Amino acid sequence: MCGITGMVHLEQDLRQQELLLRKMQRTLQRRGPDQEGIFLSPQCAMAHTRLAVIDVEKGRQPMEVTAGGETYTIVYNGELYNTAELRTQLEQEGTVFQTHCDTEVLLQSYVHWGPRCVEQCNGIFAFAVWEHSARRLFLARDRIGVKPLFYAEIPNGFVFGSEIKALLQHPDVPHEIDKTGIAELLLMGPGRTAGGGVFRTIREVKPAHCGYYMQGQLHLHPYWELHAAEHTENFADTAAHVRELVTDAVRRQMISDVPIGTFLSGGLDSSLLSSLANQVMQEQGRELHTFSVDYRDNDRYFQKSHFQPTSDPTYIRAMERYLGCRHHWTVLDTPALAEALYAAVDARDLPGMVDVDSSLLLFCREIRQEVTVALSGECADELFGGYPWYRDADIRRINGFPWAQSTAYRTQFLLPEIAAEIDAQAYVQSAYARTVAAAEQLPDDSPLESRMREMMKLNLDWFMQTLLDRKDRMSMYNALEVRVPFCDYRIAEYLYNVPWEYKDWNGYEKGLLRTAMQDVLPPEVLWRKKSPYPKTHNPSYLQTVSEMLRHVVADPLSPVLQIVRKEMLERLLESEESVQWYGQLMTRPQIMAYFVQMNYWLEKYQVKVVL
């Protein structure tokens, strides 16, 4: 797990190139504090910051090999979970390895198979390979999009990096947003259209895409997508298949040469992964570390709701007893949570999921004191249909993103002159329509199954990407590698074709997953109703973010007022109206915090608005 950055320049001397490259590299040091390295040539420069997890001594990057008259140099961020199989296959075909790290396996895979190497890889990755003689740069990103990769095409060249902040160090990448960027912030945020980077000239390699930059041209193409196929297994066989896939994903992702642990919220997904990880650790004679977060006085202020009927600590303690693991609690209070809203922007390079981000950032900081790698239960709800918008027939029928039915409300915040430049409903609706149109169907799919394919595609391409952005940036800001076993692409491929009747077995949310894994959890956790990521219920948080926003509104020079109507911010402060901005975790306090973050971001990143 690392940070990567680099550039292809047609005209620049090496000294200037090195100085600029090192500035870009420094922005990524939090992602990789253990080692750093650079590669320089007249046409290409690449830099790496490393968080050492596998083969700590020999896995340094950039890494270089020469074969068949060509020299290849790689910078790579990620982890391959089928390293052993690929290594064996390559050795059988004559490859001799110098290290035990997956970086060399990936590089040799590229040497051997070229661009099709990505089709062989099971893992989370973003990487670049420079071919010296051919003078071309290959870029690739993992199928699900767990690891980030941004780029910008500039005059006479090309710049790329793990995070937007690295690209912004380059003088030819302007700190500008236009009406598209504003639409992303106000209409889509904290979500983001795949392929975009909000800044005017910054783009993103989409998940499951790869391609070349050469002779001044970039050509990217998809190498994987979900395909519709008939599901022929009965429920018992389907449950067995799910059990096999999930168990194998966890076992593969437990490989590490450094301490490893798990997130444990007391919900089904994290509890399940913790139980499976504990089995692996016990086989190895090791003790599993598990980690939970809570908020000061949450037990006092918690109020059950449709989305969160029960609080977490009771179930966390049940799992702690069940596993017999070494458990760690982190308790967050309002002042730290609010202050970390700013660090969360620094980590994401954009306004984000506010306290959902800042709490995770603080939580990861504490986890990093004990382990370097942690497993997390993200993405099970997207694949197994756990969210309310899958299961509630009325919500499911809504035409539009089910977690953000707030376009009309959001539009009211735009300054009139900007709103006149953006057709808000059309912007959001076209993004929605493109996504559902890309959900591959079978001719004999029922209306329900057809809609469920659309729902899964919407969740994978949008909601899940927001959560994966959050998890990567908040964890890597603290040099913590977080792995997400449910993001194994084999699970996504399989579940795309599993009928809804099976996923919702016996009317239980994620009934298929619960049934498949029913012997690895205590009953009270196995059958617990879904509860979202824990957030503070302390009224002091609303008071604090209200005061932060009042300071923004009171300053006529606040940069957010270049975009947003002051009177709408004042209404937000005074009214008790509560609108779901983005899922059930972003309502009035979080909307306030979002505008606080946006103001900070515009100022910190010196963003210029160009219309």
Q: Report the catalytic residues.
A: 2
Kindly list the distances between the CA atom of residue 98 and the CA atoms of 34, 66, 80, 105, in Å, as whole numbers in the listed order.
21, 13, 17, 10
Q: What are the tokens at 129?
A: 């390979």
8 Å CB contact between 294 and 326: no
Residues 6+ apart with CB under 8 A from 407: 187, 400, 424, 425, 428
For the beta sheet containing 44-50, the strands, ordered from the edge strand earlier in sequence to the opposite edge, are: 35-40, 44-50, 2-9, 157-161, 150-154, 203-204
Distance CA 130, CA 43 (A): 10
8 Å CB contact between 73 and 129: yes
8 Å CB contact between 315 and 524: yes
Distance CA 603, CA 559 (A): 6
DSSP character string of 212-260: EEETTEEEEEE------------HHHHHHHHHHHHHHHHHHTT--SS-E
8 Å CB contact between 70 and 133: yes
For residue 568, give the amino acid letter: M
Distance CA 60, CA 17 (A): 21
Distance CA 438, CA 450 (A): 12
User: For 462, which DSSP code?
Assistant: I
SS3 content of the chain, % helix, strand, coil (to 5): 45, 20, 40
Distance CA 520, CA 247 (A): 11
Residue of 267, 247, 145 lying closest to 205 (CA atoms) = 145
Strand partners, 262: 290, 375
Distance CA 326, CA 147 (A): 29
Distance CA 248, CA 245 (A): 5
Name the CA radius of gyration of the chain, rounded: 24
Q: Is 380 exposed, middle or buried (0-12, 13-18, 19+ CB in 10 A)?
A: buried
8 Å CB contact between 510 and 380: yes
User: For 569, which DSSP code?
Assistant: H
> What count of other Cβ atoms lies within 10 Å of the Cβ of residue 171?
8
* Residue corresponding to tokens 């969740």: 459
Q: What are the tokens at 70?
A: 């060509």
Distance CA 265, CA 554 (A): 39
DSSP character string of 381-394: HHHHT-SHHHH-HH
DSSP character string of 35-62: EEEEEE-SSEEEEEEE---SSTTT--SS
* Residue corresponding to tokens 């390559």: 90
Distance of CA 57 to the CA centre of its chain: 28
